[in-house]
Amino acid sequence: ERWGLLSTPGTTRDLGRLNRARGEQYVAQGDYPAATRALLLAVESLPGDPVLHFNLGRLLSQSGRTNEAIQHYRACLQLTPEDPEALNNLAYMLLERGEYAEAEGYLRTAIRVAPSFPHAHFNLGRVLFETGRDSEGMNQFQQAANLDPSYAEWFAEFQLGG
């Protein structure tokens, strides 16, 4: 009897899990608007789930809902402060808005916790270039290219001014 009470469907937590599962299913099907709606419902029931906040950040970003995406990446980072992907994604959004100092801080943290994460090096290179620190930026671009060969071609073209 006692176990039945613990697994009784219909609790807020169960509803959150159900909506999270639906959201993940919609993502797998490519229905991103439905996924966003389901995950927004899920996070109401499971506000302490960093993966939900991260996935919402990504979905909201893709649909141009930048302010909401930033809020969810920040919520993710409150729960998991050293998540390099969340740090990088939040920094990228801030970089795109011209908020270079804050973006740089998040990227430096991402690189500190995950030194082999090429996207963070690349985005830090962009921040450094935008703020007039071209030499440091080139070093970060080179680091990204060393870590991920897909950046090497871009880096070579960039050096040639193309």
The pLDDT value recorded for residue 7 is 39
- Collapsing DSSP states into helix, strand and coil, what is residue 120? helix
**Tens digit of each residue's pLDDT (9 = 90 or more) over 104-155:** 999 999 999 999 999 999 999 999 999 999 999 999 999 999 999 988 877 7
The pLDDT value recorded for residue 14 is 79
Residue 152's Cβ-count burial label (10 Å; 0-12, 13-18, 19+) is middle
The pLDDT value recorded for residue 20 is 86
Residue 37's Cβ-count burial label (10 Å; 0-12, 13-18, 19+) is middle
pLDDT at 13 exceeding the cut of 80:
no
Over residues 2-16, the mean pLDDT reads: 55
**Phi, psi (5° rounding) for residue 46?**
-130, 60
**Tens digit of each residue's pLDDT (9 = 90 or more) over 30-47:** 999 999 999 999 999 899
The pLDDT value recorded for residue 73 is 98
The pLDDT value recorded for residue 160 is 57
The C-alpha atoms of residue 42 and residue 22 are separated, in whole angstroms, by 9
Tokens for 39? 């995950």
Task: Please provide the average confidence, as pLDDT, over all residues in the chain.
Answer: 89
| DSSP letters spanning 122-144 | HHHHHHHHHTT-HHHHHHHHHHH
